[in-house]
Amino acid sequence: MNNERCYLIGITPGSNEIVAVDCSAMKECRNDEEHFRVLQKMVAGYIEHVTEPEELKGRCICYVNEEGLLKGFTVNIGASFLLERTIVGRLCVCKGDSPDTFFTKDEAVKLGKEITEIIKKRYDAAIGRYKEGELKV
């Protein structure tokens, strides 16, 4: 096993940042069970796979806390725009779902920028629809 650091992407509610989270400890996982325990820590509970946006299909896997709504987690505005559904709590974006598949820091930063652009595009479209009277509050 090499000593290169490995990352996933985290989008946390209340933050305007999409961050590359160092998950190098996951490289030490010996099996899927250990891998999922680490993911559970990152989403603060049971993990649930959520469908990736079309623009990212086949390039990443997204996870949230399965009980986030029941536990009253804060709405994650950025993740909600990204996935076009209400997301609460932290969204973890992983390169794959096996214990040995990770982003390098450069890959995480590049995909993080792409995610930022997708969120911005969807936000701008929603604001445009609101201004045109298509969306009501």
pLDDT above 60 (res 121)? yes
Backbone conformation region of residue 135, classed left if phi is above 0, alpha if psi is from -120 to 50, else beta: beta
Rounded to whole angstroms, the Cα distance separating 115 from 118 reads: 5
Asked if 103 contacts 10 with a C-beta cutoff of 8 angstroms, the reply is no
Query: For residue 98, what pLDDT is reported?
Result: 61
pLDDT above 60 (res 67)? yes
Query: For residue 136, what pLDDT is reported?
Result: 64
Structure tokens at 135: 């969306």
Helix (H) or strand (E) holding 94: strand 91-94
* Rounded mean pLDDT, 49-60: 91
User: In this structure, what are the phi and psi dihedrals at residue 114, rounded to the nearest 5 degrees?
Assistant: -65, -40
